[in-house]
A and B are shown apart, each in its own frame.
Chain A
Amino acid sequence: MRKLDADRNAGSISIEGLTRRFGAVHAVDGVSLDIRAGEFLALLGPSGSGKTTILMSIAGFEYPDEGRILLGGEDITWLPPNRRNLGMVFQRYTLFPHMSVLENIAFPLKMRGLGRAEREERARAALRTVRLDQLGERRPAQLSGGQQQRVAIARAIVYRPRVLLMDEPLSALDKNLREEMQIEIKHLQREIGITVVFVTHDQTEALTMADRVAVLDHGRLQQLGAPRELYEAPQTEFVAGFIGETNFWSGSAAAAAAPGEAVGVRLEGSGVMPALAVSRVAAGDRVRLALRPERLRILPGAAEGVPALVTEAIYAGNATTLMLEAAGGQVLRLRIPAGAGLPEAVAGEAVTLGWQAADARAFGVAP
Chain B
Amino acid sequence: MLGGRRFSPAASLALAAPFLLLLLVVFILPLATLLHESLFVPSPGLGNYAHALEEPVYLRVMLRTLRIAFLVTLLALVLAWPLAWVMSRSRGLGLALLGAAVLLPLWTSVLVRTYAWMVLLQRNGVINQMLARLGLIEQPVRLLYTEGAVVLAMAHVLLPFMVLPLYSALKGIPEDYPRAAQMLGASPWATFREVVWPLCLPGVTSGCLMVFLLALGFFVTPALIGGPQQMMIATLVSQQVRELLDWPFAGALVGILLAFVLALVLLFRRAVRLDRFVGQA
Contact = CB atoms under 8 A, between A and B. Distances in A.
Interface of A: 1, 59-61, 80-82, 84-88, 90-92, 94, 96-98, 107-108, 110-112, 139, 141-142, 155-156, 159, 165
12 contacts: A61-B179, A86-B183, A88-B183, A94-B174, A94-B176, A94-B179, A96-B195, A97-B199, A108-B185, A110-B194, A141-B280, A165-B183
Given A61-B179, A90-B179, A141-B281, A82 B174 contact: no
User: 4 closest Cβ contacts across the A-B interface?
Assistant: A108-B184, A111-B185, A94-B180, A88-B183
Interface in B163-205: 174, 176-177, 179-188, 190-191, 194-195, 198-199
B184 A92 contact: no
Given A90-B176, A96-B181, A141-B280, 14 more contacts: A1-B185, A59-B183, A60-B182, A82-B183, A82-B188, A88-B180, A92-B174, A98-B279, A107-B181, A107-B184, A107-B194, A111-B185, A111-B186, A142-B281
A139 B281 contact: yes
Contacts of A87: 183
A142 B281 CA distance: 7
B257 to A, nearest CB: 35
B181 to A, nearest CB: 8
Contacts of B112: none
Interface residues of B, number: 23
B210 to A, nearest CB: 23
Given A96-B195, A97-B279, A80 B176 contact: no
B278 interface: yes
A246 B188 CA distance: 48
**Which of A60, A108, A142 has most chain B Cβ within 10 Å?**
A108
Contacts of B179: 59, 61, 81, 90, 94
B185 A85 contact: yes
Contacts of B180: 88, 90, 94, 96
A104 B250 CA distance: 54
A128 B184 CA distance: 20
B185 to A, nearest CB: 4
Contacts of A80: 182
Nearest to A140: B281
B187 A82 contact: yes
Nearest to A84: B183
A111 B184 contact: yes
A96 B177 contact: yes
Contacts of B185: 1, 82, 85, 108, 111-112, 159
Nearest to A61: B179
A139 to B, nearest CB: 4
A86 B186 CA distance: 12
Nearest to A142: B281
A60 B191 CA distance: 15
B182 A81 contact: yes
Nearest to B185: A111
A337 B43 CA distance: 102
B84 to A, nearest CB: 19
Contacts of B184: 82, 107-108, 111, 155-156, 159
A97 B177 CA distance: 10
A156 B280 CA distance: 23
